Amino acid sequence: MGTDSKFTFSPGRIFIYALLIFCALYYLAPLYVMLTTSVKSLDEIRSGNLLDFPRHPTFDAWQKAWGGACTGVRCDGLSPYFWNSVKMAVPAVLISTLIGSLNGYVLAHWKFKRSEIIFTALMVGCFIPFQVVILPMARLLGLAELANTTMGLVFVHVVYGVAFTTLFFRNYYISVPDELVKAARIDGAGFFRIYRSVILPLSLPIFMVCFIWQFTQIWNDFLFGVVFGGTDAQPVTVALNNLVNTSTGVTEYNVNMAAAIIAALPTLGLYLLAGKYFVRGLTAGAVKG
């Protein structure tokens, strides 16, 4: 009876697996330190080794990082700012993705004069640094009376994200055969009917790409949040920075680690649940036809 080749391990294969395991452990080590530190008391942190497993786990630091105490206009915990980020990220992701989908559909299958110039201009928008748009965006938000509001942050992220979502959708829709669109036109379907009946059913992979990309960028943004977010509209990244840099005489490493994990959980969870769709979506439109 022959040996199944998939169960044999050559020296080269063993080396590759060993290298992959080493890299995985190396990159997971900071997460392990964060998790274990967040459930240790300050005395245990000071007296023990950084890599020691917690002897008496406690979630007091998590409760303080989440709840904290509110004094006047400021809260020490992340809870209100976490929900600010949710109220900012969810509509910004949905709106920018929908606009990018329509833009990509137009640029891929409804060619018009100078459409390539418009697409090139949108691509340039992908490479404009955040710092360049701060002053004009602040002026625009002031004129629109959206300064220091959650809706203002939604508007900023929609405007900045449309260039990326349009690029993703246009490159994906190029792979959709023109014959499908032409056949629908011959049958009398219009712009939105073709989009709804032909394009949209094929778009799940690229929608997942844009959802994950936009949510990660918006949730992790700090610059726009600290510049355009008022006291009541600050996102969780700004609150995390304030919490870590607040000087109270004693650095509470366990609270800081718990707060950092809380701030990272939505994006981490999203990648764990939908990461495979992200990879599929990126490669789905790589080949036309």
Give the tens place of pLDDT for each residue, 52-77: 888 889 999 999 999 865 555 455 68
Tokens of 289: 């036809």
Percent of the chain exceeding pLDDT 90 equals: 43
Does residue 64 lie in a domain region?
A: no
* Cα–Cα distance measured from residue 266 to residue 144, given in angstroms and rounded to the nearest whole number: 31
Q: Does residue 22 register a pLDDT over 90?
A: yes
Q: Residue 69 has which token pair? A: 């105490």
CA 95 vs CA 33, 109, 159, 210, 265: distances in Å = 37, 21, 10, 11, 23
What Å distances lie between residue 88 and 9, 82, 214, CA to CA? 50, 10, 12
Q: Is residue 289 part of a domain?
A: no
Task: Say if residue 78 is in the same domain as residue 52.
Answer: no
Residue 65: inside a domain: no
Same domain, 247 and 196: yes
Q: Name which of 89, 57, 63 is nearest 76 in CA terms.
A: 63
Check whether 278 has a pLDDT greater than 80.
no
d(C-alpha 14, C-alpha 20), whole Å: 10
Q: Which amino acid is located at 203 in the chain?
A: S
The pLDDT score that the predictor gives to residue 46 is: 86
- The residue ranking higher by pLDDT, 249 or 206, is 206
Same domain, 115 and 203: yes
Asked if residue 48 has pLDDT above 90, the reply is no
Q: What integer is the mean pLDDT of 241-262?
A: 84
**Residue 67: inside a domain:** no
Range of the structural domain that residue 15 is part of: 5-58
Same domain membership, residue 85 and residue 46: no
Q: What is the pLDDT of residue 69?
A: 54
How far is CA 263 from each of CA 75, 85, 149, rounded to the nearest angstrom? 15, 10, 20
Residue 29 belongs to some domain of the structure:
yes
**Does residue 221 share a domain with residue 148?**
yes
**Residue 108 confidence (pLDDT):** 87
| Pair (20, 53) in one structural domain | yes
143 and 200: one domain? yes
Q: Two tokens at 79? A: 């809870």
pLDDT score of 172 more than 50: yes
Angle at 89 between CA 87 and CA 91, to 5 degrees: 75
Question: Using 50, 70 and 90 to split pLDDT, how confident is the model at 289?
Answer: very low
Cα Rg of the chain, angstroms:
24
Query: Is 82:236 a contact under the CB 8 Å cutoff?
Result: yes
Give me the pLDDT at residue 1, please: 46
120-149 pLDDT, tens digit per residue, is 888 887 888 888 889 999 999 999 998 889
Q: Calculate mean pLDDT across residues 259-271.
A: 92
Considering the domain architecture, whether residues 39 and 172 belong to the same structural domain is answered as no
Most trustworthy range by pLDDT among 38-52, 85-99, 163-177:
85-99
Instruction: Collect all residues with Cβ–Cβ distance below 8 Å to 14 and sequence separation of at least 6.
Output: none
Check the CA dihedral 34-235-225-100 and report its sign: positive
Confidence (pLDDT) at 77: 81
Query: Which of 102-106, 187-191, 237-241 is least confident?
Result: 187-191
In this structure, are 142 and 240 located in the same domain?
Answer: yes
What is d(CA 260, CA 21) in angstroms, rounded to the nearest whole number?
25
Half-sphere exposure in the Cβ direction for 98 (13 Å, CA):
7
- pLDDT at position 151 is 94
Specify the CATH number for the domain of residue 234. 1.10.3720.10
User: What is the helix (H) or strand (E) element at residue 70, kind and residue range?
Assistant: strand 70-71
- Residue 63 resides in a domain: no
Q: Is residue 90 part of a domain?
A: yes
pLDDT attached to residue 229: 86
pLDDT at 179: 86
Helices (H), the chain: 11-38, 42-47, 60-66, 79-109, 115-125, 134-143, 150-173, 178-186, 191-194, 204-220, 223-228, 236-245, 253-284
- Is the pLDDT at 203 greater than 80? The verdict is yes
The mean of the pLDDT values for the chain is 86
Which range, of 26-40, 190-204, 234-248, averages the lowest pLDDT? Answer: 234-248
For residue 90, count CB atoms less than 10 angstroms from its CB and return exposed for 0-12, middle for 13-18, buried for 19 or more: middle
Say if residue 88 is in the same domain as residue 47: no
Q: How many domains does the chain have?
A: 2
In a domain? residue 143: yes
Mean pLDDT over 187-208 rounds to: 88
Residue 74's H or E segment, with its range, is strand 74-75
Domain check: are 94 and 179 in the same one? yes
Same domain, 53 and 94: no
